């Protein structure tokens, strides 16, 4: 019987596949393979259908090498109601393939709005996703509905703490009166929020997004968040390498996840290979490299 705790489901998959790789699903109609691009400019319905076929093909290709996919909600929302239907189908297809689904929506609001976001993404039978990225910069009351979904539905969340983009430093690196930075203070809050949501593997359902483009911050985040799963974007197209995130894994093989998006899903644009084969080859390579540097 499947475990009901997000971190335990993830840890089981990591150990079974010897992989900590997540592939981001960021479908752009203009970047699709030629065979799928034919009618994307006809309308949103056609574009959404092509993006859905693209993501399904990617799931088939990378499933042996990854433990999760991370659909970026914005790319689907850009295609209106048809895009949302495509997102729902891609999430269901990914879960049927045995993958965890991390919806990348970076939702964050207060009161009934946060409650609605939690319902939309993390509740239901089955829920749309296993986990959701959330924005904690509105404070605990904005996060509590998501924590409730973790308790009641076995969901997971990844709080945005230190982002991979250069502009994030304008806020996240500001020094507080105690000498700590804003992001370090948020990391401490995330640690507190997840203390009572530990699974059997000792990992919390409350994780953190830490940009792999900041290797020193990755190490500091690991120290501040010893029980949180770190979701590490920025490897590949944004310039970080698997070696930059090695210290993230000191809390166990499943204590960090490396997300790669463009380098995998659009690998065919560089290699000239058939698009599914190209994605599979890159996913396999990244999975091996990350597992190697993780030390497990």
Catalytic residues: 106
How many Cα atoms occupy the beta-carbon half-sphere of 265 within 13 Å?
Answer: 26
The span from the CA of 51 to the CA of 86, in Å, is 8
Q: Provide the token pair at 267.
A: 């690998």
The span from the CA of 272 to the CA of 75, in Å, is 24
The span from the CA of 242 to the CA of 10, in Å, is 20
Find the DSSP H helices in the chain.
6-17, 34-37, 44-62, 73-77, 80-96, 111-122, 140-153, 169-172, 182-193, 215-224, 262-265, 268-271, 275-294
DSSP-derived secondary structure letter, 202: S
Cα 70 from chain centroid?
A: 4
**Burial degree of 204 (CB within 10 A; 0-12, 13-18, 19+):** buried
Nearest to 57 by CA among 294, 197, 267, 257: 267
The span from the CA of 172 to the CA of 182, in Å, is 5
The span from the CA of 54 to the CA of 52, in Å, is 5
Cα 265 from chain centroid?
A: 15
Query: In DSSP terms, which residues pair with 102 in a beta bridge?
Result: 131
């Amino acid at each position: 019987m499947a475990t009901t705790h997000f971190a335990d489901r993830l840890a089981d998959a990591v150990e079974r596949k010897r992989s900590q790789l997540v592939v981001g699903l960021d479908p752009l109609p203009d970047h699709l393979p030629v065979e799928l691009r034919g009618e994307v400019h006809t309308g949103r319905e056609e574009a959404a259908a092509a993006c859905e076929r693209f993501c399904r093909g990617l799931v088939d290709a990378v499933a042996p090498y990854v433990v999760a996919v991370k659909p970026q909600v914005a790319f689907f929302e850009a295609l209106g109601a048809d895009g949302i239907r495509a997102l729902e189908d891609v999430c269901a297809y990914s879960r049927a393939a045995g993958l965890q689904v991390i919806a990348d929506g970076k939702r964050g609001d207060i009161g009934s709005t946060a409650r609605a976001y939690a319902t939309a993404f993390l509740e239901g039978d089955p829920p749309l996703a296993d986990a959701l990225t959330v924005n904690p910069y509105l404070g605990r009351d904005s996060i509590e509905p998501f924590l409730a979904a973790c308790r009641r539905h076995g969901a997971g969340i990844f709080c945005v703490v230190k982002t991979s983009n250069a502009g994030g430093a304008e806020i996240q690196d500001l020094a507080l009166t105690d000498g700590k930075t804003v992001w370090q203070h948020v990391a401490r809050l995330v640690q507190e929020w997840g203390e009572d949501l530990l699974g059997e593997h000792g990992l919390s359902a409350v994780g953190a997004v830490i940009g792999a483009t900041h290797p020193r911050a990755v190490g500091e985040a690991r120290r501040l968040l010893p029980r949180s799963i770190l979701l590490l974007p920025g490897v590949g197209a944004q310039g970080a390498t698997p070696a930059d995130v090695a210290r993230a894994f000191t809390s166990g093989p499943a204590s960090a996840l490396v997300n790669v998006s463009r380098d995998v899903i659009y690998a065919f644009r560089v290699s000239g290979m058939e698009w599914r084969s190209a994605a599979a080859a890159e996913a396999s390579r990244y999975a091996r490299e990350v597992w190697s540097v993780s030390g497990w």
